[in-house]
Homo-oligomer: A and B are copies of this chain.
Amino acid sequence: MIKLSGARASFNNINTYANRGMTLEADLQATNSFYLVNDIAVIYKKPTPITISKVNYPSRMEAVIKEGYFKTPSTTDYNGIYKGRYIDFEAKETKLKTSFPLSNIHTHQIKHLEKIYKHGGIGFLIVRFTTINKTFLLQIECLLDFLNNNDRKSIPLEYFESNGYIIKDKFNPRVDYIEILNSLYFNGGN
């Protein structure tokens, strides 16, 4: 029904095939929980979109989905609010060491982030190179700049190193992307 790269990666509970994306997703979940519990930001991962075609109702209060399919998401996975600003991002992992394949992101997700940027929001990618264990934040405006000036099918690691921002590994929050947002949009302050 759809290409499974995104759906499989999201569907990490029982799908051992697609552990790509799993660790970053878990780290972001812990990070967003930390932000929420400490009243720093309100940012959630959206549920995986599913088309349901069969449901059973064994009782009035219970429904069991008996057939469904993963849908291609219309937007990015994560959004919310930080210091009054609208935040929107997509997170992806790659095992490659020297580049990030653009096939990992749907074109309409890039267009979505571009719209967010034009409407005054903060949009970005979080990309983890799992093999070299580096996680970057790349603003949507830098991604668009790359796409406008390249016909390449992947973004070289060097582009992230020159134009993105390393998100350092921490204990808690694990992927502290708000530290980067502070330096970029909020005068470095807390």
Contact = CB atoms under 8 A, between A and B. Distances in A.
Contacts of A83: 119-120
Interface residues of A, number: 55
Contacts of A82: 119
Contacts of A68: 50, 52, 64-65, 68
Contacts of A62: 1, 4
Contact of A64 (B11, B69, B80): B69
Contact of A3 (B13, B44, B61, B65): B61
A28 to B, nearest CB: 15
Contacts of A81: 86, 88, 116, 119-121
Contacts of A118: 39
Given A11-B55, A86-B81, A42 B112 contact: yes
